[in-house]
Chain A
Amino acid sequence: MVPNLDASIALVAIAPFVAAALAPLVHRFTAPFSGWLLALIPAAIFAYLVSLAPQIMAEGAISARIGWVPVMGLDLSFFVDGLSLTFAATISGIGALIILYSGAYLRGHEHLGRFMAFLLAFMGAMLGLVLADNMLALFLFWELTAVTSFLLIGFDAVRQSARRGAIQALVITNIGGMALLAGVILVQQITGQWELSALRELEDGLRGHGLYGLVLACFLLAAFTKSAQFPLHFWLPNAMEAPTPVSAFLHSATMVQAGVYLLARITPWMGGTMAWTTLLVGFGAVTLLWGALAAFKQTDLKQMLAQSTIASLGLLVLLIGLGSETAIAGVVVYFVAHALYKAGLFMVVGAIDHEAGTRDITLLGGLADRMPVTFIAAGLGALAMIGLPPTIAFFAKEEMYLGLLTPDWQDIAVLVVLVAGNALLAAIGALVAIKPFLGPEVATPKAAHEAPLAMLVGPILLGALGIVAALMLSDFAHSVLEPAASAILNETVKSHLTWAIDLMSPVVWISVLTWGLAYWAYRQADMLRVLMRRFASGLGFTADDVFDAVMFGLIRFAGALTRLLHHGRLEIYLGTAFAMLALALMLPLFALGGIDALLPTAELGNWAGRLSWPPLAIHEWGVFGLALIGLVAIVVSRKRLYSILALGIQGTAVALIFLIFGAPDLAFTQFMVEILSVVILALVMTRLNLEDEDPRPFEDWARDGLLAIVCGLGVALLLMVVITGDLDTRLSDFFTATSVPIAHGHNIVNVILVDYRGFDTLGEISVLMAAGIAIMALLTGRRRKTATPVGPVVSATAPVEAIEPVPARRTRRRKAAP
């Protein structure tokens, strides 16, 4: 037992992020060994997680929480049960091997340190995702995996295809992320629970609720985008632009399994309905067959594996949809087996690519002599992918067939799909792992030789684990299968995995049938490839094309909208803004009856006779006069500079009024703002090379004047309405009473700014800084453009790039830059 369980479980998700921050530094100083060194962190996490296993087997689950926003009942809570432990151990275990592998695979790459940082950050996000109990935390980590995946796919950012793959993955998975957020909030609104562990204790879950359909749609969209289900599968093959360790880690063993994890996690309170089963089995079956067939179309080994991953994900979704005890047991065993062999096979493909210089299956052959250890690793992977004993994958297949041996036609249909899918997958496995090694030797772009040790540890170890798990079947069943399956179904599941193979059982013969079909598909791979290509060209478009069309349309739409709203005419911007202000002021006053408070009532009698001048002192009259002088000067003056100065005088008068009526802070600030406004406006004016005078045609003058009068009148009336009502002084009373005792300050304005509402101020200063950066960008941008001749004012049809605020009536007589 660890001293503080809460902290140490939280650390599992946080430590990789810390390691990520340090990774570039570590790499700089220990370059050749950084892979070995950094792999220690995931390895330690793996060891810690495994040490939790006995407790989870005994108690079912461990929860941990640290306070997040206690006022709102939000905790950063974690929850380790059989399901999350299986996922977390897979992530950290494979993660350690991947980091080791990357050190060798990208050896000497100038950005290897950064790559390691991304990988570790991804691992942290993924661990957080599977350990999170709070659904908002789940969403947060879910999005973090998308972001880190984006960085990793686009790692080789100089290639256009890598950038495209990265953006595509981000867009598609983020659509799912948004759906997940919507789903999470809906569930919280319905049940009042943020926590997954509480949700699964609900009687009958959400199944009977009126919004069940909507919630289900949100979660399914999230899971289907993340786990690349048909027809949203197309981002996954494009994500293979990433370096091979990334494909092995993110796009086979972990990130794409997040959708599967989500579905498994919500099974206790969402699963089992007609809609659930139909949708999951339907989409899963289509994805399985589509992915497996599409794999035959490819000649690139990595693409073949990518397509087969889509198929495997479909298979898992299908099994979760079935939801029977054997199906769920199949999910757990298949997830583990798949993660082990698929990550291993990806690493093998990476090794072939690295050492032979190509991964095109038609250009490879006879590598077994040159890369014997790699061949062994590939063989172990293929054994599992085909589902032969003695690998754990064999039992996964047995388990999934077992529950479908009923005379029901639906079960038989699913069984047929599963057999076909498994057979095709097995054939792909054989093609990827055996074809490049056997047969006559083919000349490769690089003289092939054995891969370095760090690149072999992973696939060999993973392949061996697949066999060890099968050999220690009862231990595996007891420590992995039972806790995980029980966690998914929220009831105790007993394993019946056994080595005693009953030759009378049809399951064995279905397996044999699968292998037979696989052998046929392996022999006919070329024929299948031609068929699939003919089918694809007959179809005429791919999901990829649809994505491009949608994205292009979106950009066109955004461009059109920008041109409509952002036309570049400053006077129209200002006119629109002030017109809206006038509308916002006047509408409530007249349409909603606000003005009634100002109208003299009948009881007042002869109210005009009772009007009198306010008793103002002489200096107050002076301030009033100053404001008037400023105002008149602005309207009368024809020179721009005079107007700016007059505006400053008027503002100063307002500041003096603040001072007289006891708001020194406000007055002080107002003074400074007025001075700086005059200075900056004057500078802007000189910079824009405006004419000294501002001649306006009468219609402009009338329009601007009318707007000014309406806005001014609106503000004045609004303020008068405000002072007719009772002022609610609760807030100011609170501040007056508490500013000294609890905030230790006598200046209430300042105390509010930096203490009571410090968070607001933090936001305000951030906005201020951002505005400053934007203004500086505009200034530099303008300066760069001075080389080109100044054209006419930007018209409404100008391209988006050319749009920048162009002042009205800029003269064309602009002097060339000195």
Chain B
Amino acid sequence: MGFLDIDNTTKSYGAVEVLHKIDISVEEGEFLVLVGPSGCGKSTLLNMIAGLEEITSGEIRIKDATMNGVHASKRNIAMVFQSYALYPNMTVGKNITFGLEMHGVPKPERDNAMNDVAKLLQIEQLLDRKPGALSGGQRQRVAMGRALVRNPDVFLFDEPLSNLDAKLRVDMRTEIKKLHQKLGTTIVYVTHDQIEAMTLSTRIAVMNGGYVQQLGTPQEIYDTPANIFVATFMGSPAMNVLPAKVAIENGKPTAQVALHDGSLTSLPFSQDNMADWAGKDILLGIRPETITDEDAADRKSTNIAHMTNRIIVTEPAGSDTFVTMEMGGKDVIARMRSDAEVQAGADFSFAVNMEKAVAFDPETETRIVP
């Protein structure tokens, strides 16, 4: 039994099922991020936890009490909306205390709570202003203040940073993380931004098409993706997925991958059970940062493969240089040091850290578990 349990929960609109048997258990103090592309059902799931959408079947429990049919205001949750949803006709102070007022908290207590939250979020000087007179970042803080003042069991965030500009978004991300570490509250956070998901969460649920594709810590999701969807959705640039054939060389399983000129290169697997796939086609997943120049290869890795391939495009990004080449008939991106001497059209000697490579079954698109 977790702190927040989503138990076999489905959601249908008429005959259309949009969420299929979701099973997630969140411990107290956890930061769970629901991440996925638009229309994957993540916001619907959040609204079901909030009580804004009905649960079609299954059960949602907070602190072991069922929330099915319990009104949103009685679940002891607070929500921060994408548009902040500040009441335009009320001052910041009123916005923050409106929920307390609706719950019949007397005025002196409300003011105390408001002042505490305002101090915590450093918005004391804004309390008498109307939301229209605030900047995006300030509105974001007020929205969080409105959620914090209720002292809820669970915080729900619905893409709270997507309306901010890039720099402010990074600042607020850090701010939210700090707040979580300081207060130790349970948070469910919806985003489509995989970087937000990776940086903020203690656990991630990657969703697609109404299914939870994978539930795990950021590291698990990144290193051992359950399937090709998770592998390519998490990480930027996305993981390279290319067709390969498994062969046995010197008693070890290797992936045979075609290079730009059609010649084959052998990339030895670290996983011994890949021998079972000898002679079969697989999809090989290689993260861009595991393909480097020889000098930058990971010294701790026990399995560095080498290959020479032609560079098609180089994209210097300042901190890194991204290099595009062709492998297995697909464009493959490698992330190089910015001072690696790469040149478009030239052949280059690459080092591939095969310890980090993953293999997928081309039929089911799921990862072949070592």
Instruction: Say whether A associates with B.
Output: no
